[in-house]
């Protein structure tokens, strides 16, 4: 996956996780609430991976530009 896909999927998982947590609280389902916590955490990790990929790509682009400038 590319960085944008990771970030988008991460945000979606965080959002769904939050909804599950709130739904679990409303209906008194600890299981649903726990699933929401886990899904939110998964989303946070996915977003972080996407951000790391974007930063790495930006760094690689800077190096490539510097090399092109000097040749």
Q: pLDDT (tens digit, 9 = 90+) per residue, 2-49?
A: 999 999 999 999 999 999 999 999 999 999 999 999 999 999 999 999
Q: What is residue 71's predicted lDDT score, i.e. its pLDDT?
A: 77
pTM for this model (two decimals): 0.81
pLDDT given for residue 1 in this prediction: 80
Identify the CA nearest to 46 among candidates 10, 3, 11: 10
For 58, the token pair is 């930006």
Q: What angle do CA 8, 11, 14 make, to 5 degrees?
A: 150
Q: Per-domain residue ranges for the chain?
A: 3-69
């Amino acid at each position: 996956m590319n960085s944008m896909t990771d970030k988008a999927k991460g945000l979606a998982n965080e959002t769904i996780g939050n909804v599950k947590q709130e739904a679990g609280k409303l209906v008194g389902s600890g299981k649903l609430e726990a699933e929401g916590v886990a899904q939110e955490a998964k989303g946070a990790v996915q977003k972080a991976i996407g951000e790391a990929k974007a930063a790495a790509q930006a760094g690689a682009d800077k190096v490539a530009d510097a090399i092109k400038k000097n040749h």
